Chain A
Amino acid sequence: MTDLGMRAIAAAIAIFGAGASSIGEGLLVTKAIDGMARNPEMYSKLRSSMIIGAALVETCGIYALLVAILIIFAL
C-alpha cells in the first residue's frame, strides 16, 4: 500500500465526522419544522434560530472536511 493510499484512507475516516454532523442537522430541522407546524405564528423566529443552529452544527462537519483536505494536500 502506497503512502497516498494510506492518506486517502485516513481522509475517508476523518470525513465520518461530517456524517455525524449531518445526522444532527437533520434532527434539528425536524424539530424546528415540528415547532413551526404546531404554531405557525412563530415561523419567522424559529426559522432564524434554526438557521443559526444549523450553522453551528455544520461547523463540526466543516472541521472534518478541513482535516480531510489537510491530510490529503498539506501533510
Chain B
Amino acid sequence: MDKYSDPNIWKTFNPSGEIIVALIIIGILIVLAIIVGILAKCADPLKRPKGLLKVVEWCVEKLDAFTQDIMGPGFENFGGLLLGIIPFLFLSFTIGIVGLPTPMNNLAVPLSLALVTFCLIHYTSMRYTKWRYFKRYVDPFPFFLPINLLSMWAPLLSMTLRMFGNGIVGWVLMSLVNSVLEGLSTSIFGGIIAGGASGVFLVPIITPVLHAYFDLFSGFVQTMVFVFLTVLFIAQERPEEIEMEANMASRKEAVK
C-alpha cells in the first residue's frame, strides 16, 4: 500500500508547535490581506483613504520608495515581496511575547525564508546574464570551480543560521533565567505558600526586560537585516552596464 493513500497517515501527522504557530501567523496574514483587498475594492478612489487602508497604503508607498532607492530600475515589483516577508518575519520573531513557541526555533522556517532569497538571487542573475550565468562558476579560471560551487551556498547558510541562532539563543537564555528565577522564588516563598504556586513571584518582574530585548528589539533588527540583505544581494546581481544604460535613458528622457 502506498504511504500517502494510507488513511491513518493523519493520525501520525504530528507537527511541532513551531510549525503550527507559523501556520497560524500565515492564516492571520491571509485574512488581513483579504480584508484589505475587499476594502481597497470597495473604497472610493476620489476620497481620502482612512483606517486600515490608510496604513497599508502608507506601507506600500514606503516600501516602493525603499526598493526604488536601493535597488534602482528593473526591480519595480519587489515592494510586494517585502510587504509579504516583513510582517511574517516580525510576527514570527515577536510571537514569543504571548507565550507561543517562536517559529524561528524550528530550522525549517528560517531555511525556507532564506531559500526564497537564494532562489531569487539566482533567478535575477539568470534573467540578466542569460547563458553567461554559468560563467560565474569558472570565474576567474576553471580551477576555481569547486571553490565557487562551495561559496554559492554561503548566503543561504549564513542567512538561515543568523535567524535560527537569534531565535534559539533568545529562547535558551530566557528559559534558563526562567528556571533559575522559579527555583529562587520557590526557595524564598516556599515556607509561606505551599505547593507549586510559590515559584511564580519573581518571574514576572525580571523576564519582561528579556522579552523586550530578545523578542522585540532583536526581532526588529533581524527583520531589518534580512530585508536589507535580500534587497542588496538581489540588486548586486544586475550587471553594471545595464544600470548605466537605464540611467542614461532616464537622463535623456529628463532632458527632453
Contact = CB atoms under 8 A, between A and B. Distances in A.
Interface string A57-70: 00100110110010
Interface in B131-177: 158, 161-162, 165-166, 168-169, 172
Contacts of B158: 59
Interface residues of B, number: 13
Contacts, number: 30
Contact of B165 (A52, A56, A66): A66
B165 A63 contact: yes
Contacts of A55: 221-222, 224-225
Nearest to B221: A55
B228 interface: yes
Interface string A35-59: 0000000000000000110011001
Contacts of B165: 59, 62-63, 65-66
A63 B160 CA distance: 11
Contacts of B222: 55
A63 B168 CA distance: 11
Interface in B197-230: 221-222, 224-225, 228
Interface in B29-83: none
Nearest to A51: B221
A12 B222 CA distance: 26
A51 B158 CA distance: 18
Contact of B228 (A52, A59, A63): A52
B225 A62 contact: no
Given A51-B221, A55-B221, A55-B222, A66 B169 contact: yes
A52 B162 contact: no
Contacts of A62: 162, 165-166, 169
Nearest to B172: A69
Contacts of B169: 62, 65-66, 69
A51 B224 CA distance: 9
B97 to A, nearest CB: 20
Contacts of B228: 52
B168 A52 contact: no
User: Which 3 residue pairs across A and B have the least CB separation, nearest first?
Assistant: A62-B165, A66-B165, A55-B225
Interface of B: 158, 161-162, 165-166, 168-169, 172, 221-222, 224-225, 228
10 contacts: A52-B224, A56-B225, A59-B158, A62-B165, A62-B169, A63-B161, A65-B169, A66-B165, A66-B168, A66-B169
